[in-house]
Amino acid sequence: MLDLAIIGGGPAGLTAGLYASRGGLDNVTMYELGMPGGQITGSSEIENYPGQNKLMTGMELMENWPEQCKQFGLEHEMTKVTSVTKKEDVFTLSFEDGNVQTAKSVLLATGSVPRRAGFKGEDKFFGRGISTCATCDGFFYKNKEVAIIGGGDSALEEAVYLSKMCSKVYLVHRRDTYRAAPSTIKRMKERENIIEVSNVDVEEVLGDNMGVTGLLVKSKITGDIRELEVPGVFVFVGRDVLNDSLKQEDGSFLCDTNTAGEIIVDLNMKTSVEGLYAAGDVRINAAKQVVCAAGDGSTAAVNIIDYLG
């Protein structure tokens, strides 16, 4: 039986593995189907991770993390966890290959993935002018024009954020009303350089070998096509939380979640189930930054060590 089973090998899972192994737990295994590192390994430019004073790729940032964890005893198995159940004080993990493992505690650090909008060229230019993180990539468009696709709180909040550094922000939305808090809508409308482009469908993102050059939108009212000449497009149409492993046979989740499927935790990363923790983007109110996920992982590990006594 494991002391701790970690599901997910991104910054949260790796940091938890480091702290838990170094902190005295003897049997800690991280389950990650692919190479450890998480979504950030797909980023081409990272310059805001503390202590790193040079521009680097996400792969370069994460390349030493797995080796550091292994030095303190963290095991890594490249397999997919399909379900987690609990009976009395023991968790049972089932795997895609039919095997099972038991554990005294479990940390879910599977993260979430940005939902794609589905317009032409989105996949082709993702990471080359199309982004889902204004905090990560907004600086690269300082004093330039950008477009944001979406109409919820995240889209409007990021529009306000980008308006402070970009010369103009086109807020592209398929409706003329927003699914956001009134205070957020008010702040957005107060920014003079945010241009609302409403009642439109996104037709296609345009670009060349250097990246994005523009966005085509079609009016739902007139059918007219308009090109927004922007080098950057930010997509905020929701996220899909990777929580399938916590689904039970009756369709419920092992622990409490919100309506979006995000795991509800307290400040110690504890869920509603004793011994089950969640960290990183899979939890509620996650900042979706590498440094924050790493902080979650360390917080969870310290509290798991205390929980196991």
Asked if 246 and 84 touch (Cβ cutoff 8 Å), the reply is yes
Instruction: Check if 292 is active-site.
Output: no
Q: Which of the following is catalytic: 3, 137, 281, 296?
A: 137
Q: Which of the following is catalytic: 136, 166, 255, 296?
A: 136
Backbone angles phi, psi at 286, to 5 degrees: -75, 140
DSSP codes joined into one string, 180-248 = S-HHHHHHHHH-TTEEEE-SEEEEEEEEETTEEEEEEEEETTT--EEEE--SEEEE-S-EEE--GGGB-
Asked if 246 and 74 touch (Cβ cutoff 8 Å), the reply is no
Instruction: Check if 250 is active-site.
Output: no
Position 69: which residue type?
A: C
Asked if 278 and 304 touch (Cβ cutoff 8 Å), the reply is no
Asked if 46 and 58 touch (Cβ cutoff 8 Å), the reply is yes
E runs forming strands in 32-80: 75-77
| Coil vs helix vs strand at 19 | helix
Instruction: Check if 69 is active-site.
Output: no
Asked if 57 and 43 touch (Cβ cutoff 8 Å), the reply is yes
Distance CA 160, CA 254 (A): 37
Side-chain-side CA neighbours of residue 8 (13 Å): 31
Asked if 114 and 25 touch (Cβ cutoff 8 Å), the reply is no
Known catalytic residues are 133, 136-137
